[in-house]
A and B are shown apart, each in its own frame.
Chain A
Amino acid sequence: MATLDYVWLGVLAVFQGPELFSILGLPIPVTLLMILCGFLLGIVVGATPGLAGPVAMAISLPILISVFGYTPDALLPVMGCLIGIMKGATIGGAVPAILFNTPGTPDAFMTTLDGYPMAQQGNAKKALRVAHFASVSGDTFSDIVLVICAPFLALLVEGYLDLPEKTALLILSLSFIAAAVGGSPAKGLISTGLGLLVAFIGTGADFYPRLSMGTEALSQGIALGPAILGVLIIGAVFHELAGQWRHKEVVSCAQPQNEIGSDRLSLGDIRKLLPYIGRSAIVGTVVGALPGIGSTLAATIGYTMGRRRHHKIGKPGDPAFGEGAMEGIAATEAANSSVSGANLIPVLSLGIPGNTAAVFLILAADSIGGFNPGPSVFKFTTDTVNPELVIAFGLFTAMFVANFLNWTIGGIFMRSMGIMARVPRQLLLPVVLILTLTAIYVQETRLEVIWFTLAFGLLGYGMRLLSISPLPFVIAFILGGKLESTARQAFDATGSDPFFLFNNPIAAVFMLLSIAIIFLASHRKPEQK
């Protein structure tokens, strides 16, 4: 099996997979249909303030698993749908940001700065077109980088890193996430520590389930669903409900003006936008490839860079950034969209998730089984077929299929989603709450998971209240078990060498870097927000 054969098998797995039905004798492969469903759902959810991609992914996952079962055949349709949601939500988030000054997703906040003024000036449709064009361009660029980089990074890791180095790499990722997310290394460390602690309850090598306090409920450990969805989704719902209750306000629905002039993007417009999109796409991709930093920061950097450039070369008479410049929308949307593809680089090559979308892909792979994201995926075996590698190339194919949908029908669908911003949140959020809890229950079928999820919801709410980012918690929780088992294996494999993390150069460098990152981050001068 040559490399290209694997690529081809992955493409075929998407297009020739089990067919659902056929139209006029043309079979419709189920994976393609699921990508489409996910993509449309993602746009709807992204366009609804208060919901975001993770909510849709959280709720879809148990339903998808029930439909497709626990066989390797289920991986591509299920993960394809999740990828569709991820991409759809990214462009959907710009809709309410532009039309109503309410970001549909957190990373669309910067889009409001120029998008809403443009809408007020009567260029709403054009603003949406700019957002769509920039978003899809950034996304496609990022996916190309992913497909090229992930296999090489994985081969590099597998070729040069032994067990001690892998342990040190996990420690480095965790300390990087703790230091980089949310701007406060102390809070990042707390979030990481909590995530690790929860991961270690009820697990361990001994037959006595540690930290279970002798209870049956804790002795099975905390499943991924209750902890992740509790902190990310239930916590966010509690937080939003409290905000809703405090303000009791209705979303201000400024009626968009009638469109002035053409809403089309002329070739001249595109030529003007491309430099901004290109820079932001590179920024977003680089930021995305580092675990844990996320799209909000990418959007901020992209916007700031764009503003500087616009200030320097902008012609007098063009609207400035913040006053309805379409370059502002493009710079933001290209940056936050190009995060998503690059974010899968550490997931697929190292098994380290960098953002919530990646967390859900890992959750899916873990629930279904048969695909363990990590360096072993990219083993190009020649005599036998490595099924995980076929899945990996299938996922890449799914991403490009989603991009194709995005280029073709995404824009039209997105521009019709303005209505979603009018859904009253105080009605929507309680339904999301019960939907999420039900979705968790049908997978775990113990009432204890409901209690756990609610408790983690309170934890998530508390973290938001104290502005402790929940992302390090989630990532540390996912990596905790892996960190412990890799460390144990490294220790055993080196014949119980207590200095196994320090007596080979690569591991030692990783360890020094992890300490340096925490140290530097906590000593840096407080920045202005």
Chain B
Amino acid sequence: MIKKRLYQDTNFVTGLVFSILALLLLFVWIPLDSDTGLIEKVRRQVAIGDALAPTIAGVFLLIGGGLLMLLERNGDNQPAMDSNSVIFVGRVFAMLVLSFLVMRYAGPLAVELMNALQGSEREYRLLRDTAPWKWIGYVLGGTIAICGTISLTEGRFSPRALVVALLAIAALIAIFDLPFDDLLLPPNGDF
């Protein structure tokens, strides 16, 4: 099997990246985004400020990154990077984001469509716990997510993937929605 190597020197690059991130965290993000400094004086008592704890986290990252660059540069635990795998996971991730966007907007769109067709004025928000509206987004988005991930992994679309996805979504609705009155499937809690 041919392994494409992204980096010969994974540990060094990782260490460098985390050191830079740690420096940005310590000198840009934390100072700009916390209201009390490392220590503050309240009620005439010196107290630990909100910036101290994240600073310690940053120091952990900085030391870790530094050790990786200096002492463990030639460590034995350096996996070869396979850029194809990374691209594959990127695709799966993008597909999942897409399917959750479908999940989020399919229900409200369906209600809008019904309003346009029937001249009614209903709101998805108030229908979010009413069948079949509450399932539209979940079924569509969930099916795309499962079927899409299977297809990407297998390298082709198959009817089997679609059947598995539909069955799985039906089972999930049966587990999470039917028995429980106050559970909301995604995306209905957002309304």
The answer to whether A246 and B82 touch (CB under 8 A), given A434-B168, A438-B172, A450-B100, is yes
CB–CB B33/A196 < 8 A: no
CB–CB B60/A189 < 8 A: yes
Which chain B positions have C-beta within 8 A of A461?
89
Q: CB-defined interface of A167-191 with B at 8 Å, one 1/0 digit per residue?
A: 0000000000010001111111111
Q: CB-defined interface of B95-119 with A at 8 Å, one 1/0 digit per residue?
A: 0110010001000000000000000
Whether A159 is near chain B, meaning CB under 8 Å from some CB there, is no
Q: CB-defined interface of A441-455 with B at 8 Å, one 1/0 digit per residue?
A: 110111100110010
Most chain B CB inside 10 Å of its own CB: which residue of A199, A431, A434, A445: A434
Whether A206 is near chain B, meaning CB under 8 Å from some CB there, is yes
Whether B92 is near chain A, meaning CB under 8 Å from some CB there, is yes
Q: CB-defined interface of A476-494 with B at 8 Å, one 1/0 digit per residue?
A: 0000100110011001100
Determine the residue in chain A with the shortest Cβ distance to B29. A211
Which chain A positions have C-beta within 8 A of B150?
426-427, 430
CB–CB B89/A430 < 8 A: no
Whether A466 is near chain B, meaning CB under 8 Å from some CB there, is yes
Which chain B positions have C-beta within 8 A of A446?
189-190
Which chain B positions have C-beta within 8 A of A454?
93, 96-97, 100
* Chain B nearest CB, measured from A5 CB (Å): 37
The answer to whether A183 and B77 touch (CB under 8 A), given A206-B35, A454-B93, is yes
Which chain A positions have C-beta within 8 A of B89?
238, 241-242, 458, 461
Which chain A positions have C-beta within 8 A of B180?
66-67
Distance of A434 Cα from B86 Cα, bound (Å): 21
Query: At the interface, is chain B mostly helix, strand, loop or mixed?
Result: helix
The residues in B between 43 and 74 inclusive whose CB is less than 8 angstroms from any CB of A are 45-51, 53-54, 56-68, 71-72
CB–CB B60/A487 < 8 A: no
CB–CB B53/A241 < 8 A: no
Most chain B CB inside 10 Å of its own CB: which residue of A178, A197, A212, A496: A197
Number of A-B contacts (CB under 8 A): 236
CB–CB B10/A466 < 8 A: yes
CB–CB A196/B34 < 8 A: no
CB–CB A192/B48 < 8 A: no
Name the one of B45, B84, B164, B186 contacting A246, with C-beta atoms under 8 angstroms: B84
CB–CB A467/B77 < 8 A: yes
Interface magnitude class on chain A: 35 or more
Determine the residue in chain A with the shortest Cβ distance to B99. A434
CB–CB B92/A238 < 8 A: yes
Distance of A188 Cα from B14 Cα, bound (Å): 13
Which chain B positions have C-beta within 8 A of A444?
189
Which chain A positions have C-beta within 8 A of B68?
184, 186-187, 190
Which chain B positions have C-beta within 8 A of A211?
29-30, 33-34, 54
Name the one of B22, B71, B93 contacting A522, with C-beta atoms under 8 angstroms: B71
The residues in A between 225 and 279 inclusive whose CB is less than 8 angstroms from any CB of B are 238, 241-246, 248
Q: CB-defined interface of B4-45 with A at 8 Å, one 1/0 digit per residue?
A: 000000110011001000100100011001111000000001
Name the one of A178, A427, A466, A488 contacting B47, with C-beta atoms under 8 angstroms: A488
The answer to whether A200 and B184 touch (CB under 8 A), given A238-B92, A244-B153, A430-B149, is no
Whether B88 is near chain A, meaning CB under 8 Å from some CB there, is yes
* Chain A nearest CB, measured from B140 CB (Å): 13
Q: CB-defined interface of A196-212 with B at 8 Å, one 1/0 digit per residue?
A: 11011000111110111
Which chain A positions have C-beta within 8 A of B64?
178, 186-193
* Chain B nearest CB, measured from A184 CB (Å): 6
Q: CB-defined interface of A511-529 with B at 8 Å, one 1/0 digit per residue?
A: 0000000000011001011
CB–CB B88/A447 < 8 A: no
Q: Which 4 pairs show the lowest CB-CB distances between chains A and B? A: A445-B189, A193-B60, A189-B64, A186-B67
Can you pick out 28 interface pairs between chain A and chain B where the beta carbons lie within 8 Å of each other?
A63-B176, A186-B71, A187-B72, A190-B64, A190-B65, A193-B61, A194-B61, A196-B53, A197-B58, A200-B53, A206-B36, A206-B49, A238-B89, A238-B92, A246-B85, A246-B88, A426-B154, A427-B160, A431-B164, A433-B96, A434-B145, A434-B172, A445-B190, A447-B186, A465-B81, A467-B77, A492-B47, A496-B45
Point out residues on B near A: beta carbons under 8 Å. Answer: 10-11, 14-15, 18, 22, 25, 29-30, 33-36, 45-51, 53-54, 56-68, 71-72, 75-79, 81-82, 84-86, 88-89, 92-93, 96-97, 100, 104, 142, 145-146, 149-150, 152-155, 160-161, 164-165, 168-169, 172, 175-176, 179-180, 182-190
